[in-house]
Amino acid sequence: MATKPPASDIDESRVHVTRPKKVAVGIPAVLHALQISVDQMGVARTAQTLLKVNQKDGFDCPGCAWPEEDKRHIAEFCENGAKAVAEEATIRRVPPAFFAEHSIADLYGHDDYWLGQQGRLTHPMILDDGATHYRPISWDDALRTIADELSSLDDPDQAVFYTSGRTSNEAAFLYQLLVRGLGTNNLPDCSNMCHESSGSALTQTLGIGKGTVSITDMHEADLLIVAGQNPGTNHPRMLSALEKAKERGAKIIAVNPLPEAGLMRFENPQTPKGMVLGGTKLADQFVQIRLGGDQALFQAIAKHLIEADDASDEAEGVIDRAFIAAHTSGFAEFDAFIRQVPWSELVTATGVSEKELREVGESVRLSKATIVCWAMGLTQHKHSVATLRDVVNVLLLQGNIGRPGAGVCPVRGHSNVQGDRTMGIYEKPSTAFLDALDAEFGFSAPREHGYDTVEAIRAMRDGKVRVFMGMGGNFVSATPDTAVTEAALRRTELTVQVSTKLNRSHLVTGRRAIILPTLGRTDRDVRGGVEQRVTVEDSMGAVHGSRGRLVPPAEDMLSEVAILTRLSGLLFPPDPLADPSGQPPVHNGNHDRGYPERSPQEEREPKTDPPEAGTPANYPRADWAALERDYSQIRLHIEHVIPGFEEYDRRIAKGRTFYLPNGPRDELSFATETGKAMFTVNDLEYPIIPEGRLLLQTLRSHDQYNTTIYGKDDRYRGIHGGRRVVMVNADDIAALGFAEDEIVDLVSEWRRPDGTLEERRAEEFRIVAYSTPRANAAAYYPETNVLVPLDSTADVSGTPTSKSVIIRLEHRDVA
């Protein structure tokens, strides 16, 4: 099985620019996906692997969280999904000899692309205090080292446990249980940096931190507004859903500062129309909005609807007053507020004419069922939560919650980031969740809120954290303020990374560091002599199974579940109710598995009286070895703790998918302060850009998923051969005294509340003239994460403001 050797670092001197594309996918996407797949896996492995992606008897794509329909295509993957699979299923390996050859300093000098290209990790590695190289360590010694460090903490809050969206439901549930068993809620995750603003806004207004639509609703919508999102790169399978909606007569409005090919025309490679007949035009209208102007857009839509209702002589009017009266609160206050917002300020904030704003509003007025989809373009501003509350306001005006083809659709990125949150990966858990956890495992979980991602970095920076553990992800490259984050991690005593591949987080360490390689989605997971499956939750609240098929990179490699159960077994005394024969404990079972049946009352009662929090006896009781051998036993625990998972195993059998309860969607019930969906009054905010400055958004290239770099090109935007580019309006380039193709430094400027001005610098970026609104710019992360101030966060949610970074361009000293 031949494969090409790892690629070299990206040569930024070779950047060249062509015209941006106006069509997405098609034959070029198929060829590019196959090229990368064959490079990484070889021909036979490529065919074997890709045919199992997102299939009912296969594995869930490790890329995005877009849902599958019940009927699957033979090739149920997109270009970037194929790249994600190829990265994980590569036959390249990083054995202990690699670390003997390369020092930490050597590896740190390579870019993220080179690091990822080296292949799969195969053996636990440890970096000793003062060492320059990692060395191999046995699994037992690695886990014992971690357990000893955690057990020696003066306070459990001296440890932080990060999670990425790759983690399965089963592993996430065990992870949060371990962490709360230690006595802390320090469970930051990648949601804190992407969709935390969505969860904050939707929980307040609708009583649930998730979207309210299904994949069927997408097909049945009359109008879809896609705002602050680039599905052609970040969620390509969404294009098929948009195409189906268009075929049924839907209208699509794209709202974004940059024109994106994926919302212009879609050439579906699975249909003759897509391959040879020119595909499908998607967006009927493109609103090129200024960065941070989305709140003003949705206030403009609401204002237009209310004014149209005033002018309507129809009995029903424009506003659904029956829905508002029966299912909402706060309308009168919102109505009074929105009437006094001046159109002139809405125009200034959006950079869009009143005529065009009213055209969008008129499309909403005429729609019988509207869905609003969004991603990080709306969630990573200071006023993001207010923006999303105004999205909800617009939908409530016409009763577009809880009806077919209508609702809110936050499109989440990583494949199980929503499932992680459902499983309890959250620094602010609900009392109901903790009470159920206590009852199931006979202990008292901590109630004090923990650190989110930004707070965790601050705590490490301030010397309050001794241990950092990352369950997947690439913390260093995913977080803001790179220099501060790296310095913070280096203040810890021990950093632990559970990873499939080498990344920058392995090179920025505490005094000691451990790398634990783990199985990926594509790998066969055999425990107790039986192939195991895990489960994930997609972006629309549907749960399904995933079972890898490939031989793991190493014979003794552990799954995340096995790592966590073994670590828990070292940290917590054996469960006194566990069967010493090795069979699952009686209190974990049910009658379907031949174990004594427990009554509904018994299911709700603690198995033991929970001890006081903070006492030596306060630890979760479980048969950790049994949970490692049989993942269905973990799912039984989940059934008992989390509503909606009844008969969990039966419902995922044979590839079935089931939807979790969703009050707003299922029965128009809202777990809010008022018991109804809430209109909110939100003062209009938008960025004010100083003269001579630009507002920068960080974004992905097309050859990238999160912090994983697949290649050197951003094909749809016409940028090839490099990543250190900054896209700027041609008029701004001239007005600011620069030239296209000039190499410049980017300097961010952020003023603290006390008036102190802070600057951060990213060096050697090539200026590319691009279609952006005036005074707006764009560049790729993680290269520009260094420019995002740690303390510049969204109100309420604490999400870094990666789409609102004030920068200036500086000429390079060529002397």
Say yes or no to pLDDT of 588 above 80: no
Q: How far apart are CA 557 and CA 579, in angstroms?
A: 27
Q: Which domain holds residue 782?
A: 694-811
> Dihedral (C-alpha) 467, 472, 476, 480: value to the nearest 10 degrees?
-110
Question: Residue 605: its pLDDT value, please?
Answer: 47
* The amino acid at 743: I
3-state secondary structure of 367: coil
When the pLDDT of each residue in the chain is averaged and rounded to a whole number, the result is 91
Q: What confidence category does residue 317 fall into, taking pLDDT thresholds of 50, 70 and 90?
A: confident
Is the Cβ–Cβ distance between 352 and 289 less than 8 Å?
yes
Say yes or no to pLDDT of 85 above 50: yes
Question: Residue 415: its pLDDT value, please?
Answer: 81
3-state secondary structure of 206: helix
527-585: pLDDT as tens digits: 989 999 999 999 899 999 989 999 999 999 999 999 999 999 999 988 666 655 544 44
Q: What CATH number has the domain bearing residue 184?
A: 3.40.50.740
Cβ neighbors of 473 (< 8 A, separation 6 or more) are 162, 163, 164, 165, 166, 190, 505, 707
Q: What confidence category does residue 43 fall into, taking pLDDT thresholds of 50, 70 and 90?
A: confident
Is the Cβ–Cβ distance between 692 and 736 less than 8 Å?
yes
Q: What confidence category does residue 1 fall into, taking pLDDT thresholds of 50, 70 and 90?
A: very low
171-186: pLDDT as tens digits: 999 999 999 999 999 9
pTM: 0.93
Same domain assignment for residues 282 and 337: yes
Same domain assignment for residues 401 and 443: no
Hey, what are 7's tokens? Answer: 């690629």
605-627: pLDDT as tens digits: 444 566 766 666 789 999 999 99
Tokens 């200071």 sit on residue = 382
The answer to the question of residue 805 being in a domain is: yes
Same domain assignment for residues 311 and 272: yes
Question: Residue 16: its pLDDT value, please?
Answer: 93
Q: How far apart are CA 163 and CA 144, in angstroms?
A: 21
Same domain assignment for residues 361 and 389: yes
Same domain assignment for residues 226 and 341: yes
Question: Residue 25: its pLDDT value, please?
Answer: 78
Tokens 């109901």 sit on residue = 432
Say yes or no to pLDDT of 593 above 50: no
Same domain assignment for residues 278 and 325: yes
Say yes or no to pLDDT of 451 above 60: yes
**What are the residues facing 407 on neighbouring strands?**
371
Question: Residue 577: its pLDDT value, please?
Answer: 60
Same domain assignment for residues 227 and 258: yes
The answer to the question of residue 645 being in a domain is: no
In this structure, how many other beta carbons lie within 10 angstroms of the beta carbon of residue 811? 12
Q: What confidence category does residue 75 fall into, taking pLDDT thresholds of 50, 70 and 90?
A: low
Say yes or no to pLDDT of 31 above 80: no
Question: Residue 175: its pLDDT value, please?
Answer: 98
Question: Residue 614: its pLDDT value, please?
Answer: 61
The answer to the question of residue 536 being in a domain is: no
Q: What CATH number has the domain bearing residue 712?
A: 2.40.40.20
Say yes or no to pLDDT of 82 above 70: yes
Hey, what are 381's tokens? Answer: 């501003």
The residue-averaged pLDDT of 422-426 equals 97
Q: How far apart are CA 501 and CA 640, in angstroms?
A: 34
Same domain assignment for residues 399 and 371: yes
Which carries the bigger pLDDT value, residue 207 or residue 37? 207
25: phi then psi, degrees, rounded to nearest 5: 70, -130
Among the candidates 416, 451, 486, a domain finishes at 416
121-154: pLDDT as tens digits: 999 999 999 999 999 999 999 999 999 999 999 9
Say yes or no to pLDDT of 602 above 50: no
Among the candidates 619, 635, 667, a domain finishes at 619
Is the Cβ–Cβ distance between 381 and 801 less than 8 Å?
yes
Question: Residue 654: its pLDDT value, please?
Answer: 80
Q: What confidence category does residue 743 fall into, taking pLDDT thresholds of 50, 70 and 90?
A: very high
Q: What confidence category does residue 505 fall into, taking pLDDT thresholds of 50, 70 and 90?
A: very high
636-662: pLDDT as tens digits: 999 999 999 999 999 998 888 999 999
Q: What confidence category does residue 84 fall into, taking pLDDT thresholds of 50, 70 and 90?
A: confident
The residue-averaged pLDDT of 238-264 equals 94
Same domain assignment for residues 253 and 180: no
760-807: pLDDT as tens digits: 999 999 999 999 999 999 999 999 999 999 999 999 999 999 999 999
Tokens 């050797």 sit on residue = 5
Burial class from Cβ neighbours inside 10 Å (0-12, 13-18, 19+) for residue 555 reads: exposed
Is the Cβ–Cβ distance between 768 and 746 less than 8 Å?
no
Q: How far apart are CA 173 and CA 535, in angstroms?
A: 11
Question: Residue 597: its pLDDT value, please?
Answer: 38
Same domain assignment for residues 714 and 600: no
The answer to the question of residue 56 being in a domain is: no
Hey, what are 358's tokens? Answer: 């009213």
The answer to the question of residue 546 being in a domain is: no
The residue-averaged pLDDT of 719-735 equals 97
Q: How far apart are CA 120 and CA 408, in angstroms?
A: 38
Hey, what are 571's tokens? Answer: 């940290």
Q: What CATH number has the domain bearing residue 214?
A: 3.40.228.10
To which H or E segment does residue 626 belong? helix 624-629
Same domain assignment for residues 289 and 311: yes
Question: Residue 27: its pLDDT value, please?
Answer: 73
Question: Residue 583: its pLDDT value, please?
Answer: 46
Q: How far apart are CA 428 and CA 187, in angstroms?
A: 9
The residue-averaged pLDDT of 810-814 equals 86
Q: What confidence category does residue 102 fall into, taking pLDDT thresholds of 50, 70 and 90?
A: very high
In this structure, how many other beta carbons lie within 10 angstroms of the beta carbon of residue 177? 26
The answer to the question of residue 185 being in a domain is: yes
344-402: pLDDT as tens digits: 999 999 999 999 999 999 999 999 999 999 999 999 999 999 999 999 999 999 999 99
The answer to the question of residue 758 being in a domain is: yes
Among the candidates 571, 589, 619, a domain finishes at 619
Which carries the bigger pLDDT value, residue 444 or residue 35? 444
Q: How far apart are CA 456 and CA 512, in angstroms?
A: 19
Domain count, the chain: 3
Same domain assignment for residues 400 and 473: no
The answer to the question of residue 734 being in a domain is: yes
Q: What confidence category does residue 592 fall into, taking pLDDT thresholds of 50, 70 and 90?
A: very low
**What are the residues facing 747 on neighbouring strands?**
761, 808
320: phi then psi, degrees, rounded to nearest 5: -85, 85
Question: Residue 89: its pLDDT value, please?
Answer: 86
Question: Residue 336: its pLDDT value, please?
Answer: 98
CA 394 to chain centre: 25
